[in-house]
A and B are shown apart, each in its own frame.
Chain A
Amino acid sequence: MDTLVRIGCAAGFAGDRADASLPIIAELARHGGPRFLMFETLAERTLALCQLEKRHDSTRGYSPALARMLPVALGPALSAGIRIVGNFGGANPAGAARRIAEWAQAAGFPAARIAVVEGDDLTASIAREELAARETGGALLAGPGEIVAANVYLGAEGIARALDAGADIVVTGRVADPSLALGPLVHAHGWAWNDWARLADGTLAGHLLECGAQVTGGYFADPDVKDVPGFDEVGYPIVEIAASGAMVVTKPAGTGGLVDRRTVTEQILYEVHDPAAYVTPDVVLDVTGVGLAADGPDRVRVAGAAGKPRPATLKATVFLESGLLGEAEISYAGPNARARARLAGETVAERLRKRAPELALRIDLIGVDSVFGNLAAAAEADPPEVRLRVAAQDRDRARVELMLNEVEALYCAGPAGGAGVRRHLTPRLASASCLIERERVAPRVWFVGDAP
């Protein structure tokens, strides 16, 4: 009897829904065999923001999703024998693990085994000049700006090792998103690290899971064209996968959303460039031979992935401080709204041209041309409402704040009827990609309670 492994994914990014795990846990609890709950909560920029937070408080710096998502899932998952794998460690996997240990204790699971996978943070092990020599597609590292974060994408090996050693919960920092699923699969099915065909199947499973609801109707619904039933309670995905690599994508019973040829096809190609060479730390995945077959309601069978040997180098993303991003908006509505919004934008631009000539501005009319910009022809009809948006980036905080103030001042000194000013100031981080030799990277696995 072929063992089926079931993996559900309860988060596709740090801002995802905190309660998405509960229907997955309820579904997984109805089955035996190895079952895992995966959380992907660490977009590239999220990790850099974690590093900034850790500078201010060394006990923090884990994914902002951790405290929102994990306490909800922890007790129910552990009760059902479901093991948890997540990259919510962010810049501080050890700190995250300590928080999880506290919650496990409080939930009545003081013996829960919590593993930490580290080794992705390169800031202490690789000098800036060495990173600069390995930068691809640019030369940001040769320029100004302090390094905020430098993390390499680890593969699935550390996760599999942690599960082999009995972890109930595995906390990582930066790992390739599909590796969050491949680690449990290699552990449960005993696949070899050079079995490229199986590693490809597992990586494809992870790729389909890694964005959560994006394979079950999220980032998909389009009324009357791609209708999604029960959209407000979309179920997050579950993949069932056999040791042979045969897999079905589905979702928990009783949830909204849908899984069909369209949702799965769109997600197979999401963020893929050459579909014959999707490079991960574990394997180079080829989806050009993948075919889909319906396998009952909200069940799609996925077959035909191929794998080529893993690359000799690992990708790292380095973030550099690049000042502040300021964004400010104000609305105009009714007759002549577009012309009043345009006058408001010109007014801000003209005043800043004289007062902060170095500041590069972007001025958009939301509702007119802010998204497609000059790709699309301008609409002829006057829109009923227009929102002026002004954005600027600079290392000089005072200059960016001057722009924000100029937009706010439009309330009294700008065109008639200006409404609803909102302003934001956020740190700006430039990103560079580097390729690092595998020998320079060593994943470490340890358990809470053991000496690290």
Chain B
Amino acid sequence: MNRGVEVELYRLAYARTGDKGNRLNIAVVCRAPAYYPVLAAELTAARVARLFAPRNPGKVVRYDLPKLSAFNFVLDDVLQGGVNASLGHDGHGKSLSYFLLTARIRVDPALLAAGDATTV
């Protein structure tokens, strides 16, 4: 187990969701490029699938965009039918980026300090 401190993903990244039918995508953008390797290791597709397990995702895929210091997660079947079928009031899943941002990530405090110095 690596040492370090545990922080919310929110401390390390921004996120935005988009929807198409019952499929959700969440773009995760590193606050600083220095965080990219940590998230590449910690925020795996399997980890995101576990976080969304109560919604029974059919499939979770992570696409890596190192030049943008970003990841794109695509989650199938987590929108309870999507905007035209869900009875919930966020059928688009617009708020779910902020659920993912509550994920706990273990990070080296030195990296955190370096990242803070280069955060836009």
Contact = CB atoms under 8 A, between A and B. Distances in A.
B68 interface: yes
Interface stretch (B38-46, B86-94, B107-115): B86-94
A137 B21 contact: yes
A291 B68 CA distance: 6
A275 B87 contact: no
Nearest to A431: B84
B67 interface: yes
A430 interface: yes
Q: Is the interface of B mostly helix, strand, loop or mixed?
A: mixed
Interface residues of B, number: 37
B54 A265 contact: no
Contacts of A431: 21, 82, 84
Interface string B38-67: 000000000000011011000001010101
Contacts of B14: 222, 225-226, 262, 266
Nearest to A288: B65
Nearest to B54: A374
B101 to A, nearest CB: 10
A362 B72 CA distance: 31
Contacts of B61: 274
Contacts of A274: 61, 63, 74
Nearest to A366: B89
Contacts of A35: none
Contacts of A287: 65
Interface in B25-45: 25, 27, 29
Given A261-B120, A274-B63, A376-B99, A269 B72 contact: yes
Interface of A: 44-45, 137, 219-220, 222, 225-226, 260-262, 265-276, 287-292, 304, 319, 325, 327, 360-362, 364, 366, 370-376, 389, 391-393, 428-431, 433
6 contacts: A270-B16, A274-B74, A288-B63, A292-B68, A327-B89, A360-B87
